[in-house]
Amino acid sequence: MLIPLPIRCFANPQAFLASASAADWTDLLQQARSLGLTAQLRALFVRHSLFQQLPATVQRHCDWGWRYYQKQQASLFNELLQLEPCLAQASYPCVLLKGAAYQALGLAVSEGRLYSDIDLLVNRQQLNDCKAKLFFAGFFEPVMSAYDKHFYLELSHENPPLYHVKRGTAIDLHFALFPLAGQKKLATEQVFQHANPIAGSCLQTPSLSYLYIHAAIHFFWQEEQHKLVKDLIDLDLLCSELAGQQRLTQLLCDSEQFGALEPVVNTLLLVQRLFGREFPVDIAAILAHSSKRRTVARALVLAQLHFGIKARLAGALWYLRGYRHKMHWRALTRHVWVKSKLAWQQRSKKYTS
């Protein structure tokens, strides 16, 4: 099986360094740049004490990417400091998710990882209160149609994106980890119960298990195709963190209680195959015999890592499958109808004006 260069590199950086040709380095840097992985490449080689052995040109590219990452990291930490005064007034937990949580915890997956917004989780009952606090702190919600507003609040898992009027920062305010229209019956309260406060802050972070669970859900139950390689690398780094802390058994228990054992089992199987990771015997046995194994879905992922007609067909099937997970068929049918109708009305207004 042909494995993409970034995955080969993250799976075994020492072996990659020993065997890479000049063409391999060129292809790797091009792919890393398109995926926003350049700074993470530098962090990878630094962690393995290999950075000084890289070709000089590769070092320069990695250093340029690292400088950009440092600016983003400083911007993120500054933004979190700006959020402290307004969210400190909240009497309920405000939990960072994804990239912001990785940074706050200083995980290996955060080293060099770029971000585009801040993901924050609150209980659905506190959503309006949290929005009000953010509004007074300078965040606003763009104007949208009544249907789009309904879609976000009743069918999705988050509020419409909020933007700061001066700084332009984007906040995705979540009240669940997966769209409600998917009818997955996930136990979101478990995330709050296992969250940990950040020292000296009003904010919290999910446990390491739930950080992996969220990443697995985002990967395996959604339709996105453009950053499969990047997401797989994130999952591998999180998995390595869990394995290093001997928490893989806890991960499987937490994912079953949460209702997301399927994405966790299958992403672990993908990590095992693509990155060559060896799990403890008991974990490997559970994965090998789990009723949540989805062979066809994993095959679609693997097919998309290549090029050609098979990859495009797999991508189309993955896209349809993702939407089927996110929305039950009645909600999906209505959504397609309403969005098509709104698009037609907008075109009609454009031509008649």
Residue ranges of the domains in the chain?
5-345
CA-CA distances (angstroms) from residue 349 to 145, 270, 335, 345?
15, 48, 21, 6
Has residue 1 got a pLDDT over 80?
no
Residue 121's pLDDT is 97
Domain 5-345 grouped into CATH 3.40.50.1820 = no
Q: Tell me what percent of the residues of the chain surpass a pLDDT of 90.
A: 80
Q: Kindly indicate the confidence band of residue 324, based on its pLDDT and cuts at 50, 70 and 90.
A: confident
pLDDT tier at 107, thresholds 50, 70, 90? very high
Q: What is the strand order of the sheet 204-205 is part of?
A: 139-140, 162-164, 170-174, 118-121, 95-97, 204-205, 196-197
Six token digits for residue 166: 């001066």
CA distances, 1 to each of 16, 71, 137 (Å) = 16, 38, 51
Average pLDDT over residues 109-132: 94
Q: Which residue has the higher pLDDT, 147 or 289?
A: 289
Q: What is the pLDDT of residue 93?
A: 94
What is the band of 181 on the pLDDT scale with cuts at 50, 70, 90? Answer: confident
Alpha helices per DSSP H over the chain: 5-11, 13-19, 22-35, 38-47, 56-87, 98-105, 127-136, 146-150, 189-193, 208-220, 228-244, 248-258, 261-275, 281-289, 295-304, 309-326, 329-352
Strand partners, 229: none
* Whether the predicted pLDDT of 166 surpasses 80: yes
Instruction: Tell me which of 332 and 317 has the higher pLDDT.
Output: 317
Q: For residue 352, what pLDDT is reported?
A: 62
The token pair at 256 is 């079953």
- Tell me: pLDDT of 281 over 90: yes
The DSSP letter of residue 164 is: E
Q: How confident is the model at residue 240 (pLDDT cuts 50, 70, 90)?
A: very high
Look up residue 274 and give its amino acid: L
Going by pLDDT thresholds of 50, 70 and 90, the confidence category of residue 155 is confident
pLDDT at residue 353 is higher than 70: no
Give strand pairing partners of 164: 139
pLDDT of the residue at 351: 61
pTM of the shown model: 0.93
Average pLDDT over residues 331-344: 71
- Is residue 266 within 8 Å of 220, Cβ to Cβ? yes
More confidently predicted of 114 and 148 = 114
Q: Please tell me the predicted confidence (pLDDT) of residue 146.
A: 84
Q: Report the distance separating Cα 87 and Cα 107, nearest Å.
A: 24
- 118-121/170-174 β-pairing: parallel
pLDDT tens-digit profile of 23-46? 999 999 999 999 999 999 999 999
pLDDT exceeds 90 at position 299: yes
Q: What local confidence, expressed as pLDDT, does residue 226 receive?
A: 84
